[in-house]
Amino acid sequence: MSRWAMATRLGAAFMTGVACALWLFPIMAGPSIQQLRLDRDAARARAETLETEVRKLKENLQKQPKGPVVRRITIQIEGPDDRVVVEGERRLQTQLTELYAGRPIEDVSAFILNRRLQGHILEIDGVRYQFTVELIIVGPELAVYGVLRPMTAR
């Protein structure tokens, strides 16, 4: 067998290996990529809420109320899957940060906050979820704990 024929066979085997590797890579890396996307979405949501919170606190720092104020807002949600939980927490965090960050604690009513959030409907990825409040803690850290449940079609 000549050198040229040997080189051609080796080149063909190499190209077949490269083609197989290119075909198998997305199949093997799929779950890892999906987990990385979920982690990235969670990190982006957290960064957005922290940026909003910092901006609100800087604005309200100039006003300096006399009593204690809401400095931090924490949302913890239970839901059917991680994507829904992350998106629901991000949306509620954004809404509550705009309304309550930097406000004096005496101006924050758990009753009004409960009425505002109880039964709140969020549409995430085309599915409607209803938020149920389980616990609200009003203090320097405003904490809301709840559950997101898919709504049944009527």
Residue 64 has pLDDT above 70, yes or no: no
Residue 153 has pLDDT above 70, yes or no: no
Q: Give the model's pLDDT for residue 2.
A: 80
Q: What is the domain count for the chain?
A: 1
Amino acid in the structure at residue 20: C
pLDDT tier at 154, thresholds 50, 70, 90: low
Find the mean pLDDT for residues 122-132. 91
Q: Which structural domain range is residue 20 located in?
A: 3-150
What mean pLDDT do residues 50-76 have?
84
Q: What pTM was estimated for this model as a whole?
A: 0.60
Q: Residue 122 in 3-state DSSP?
A: strand
| Long-range contacts, 51-59 (Cβ 8 Å, 24+) | 52/93, 52/94, 52/97, 52/98, 52/101, 53/97, 53/101, 56/97, 56/98, 56/101, 56/102, 57/101, 57/102, 59/102
Bigger pLDDT: 40 or 66?
40
**Other beta carbons less than 10 A from residue 27's beta carbon:** 8
pLDDT in tens, 70-92: 999 999 999 999 999 999 999 99
DSSP state at residue 153: P
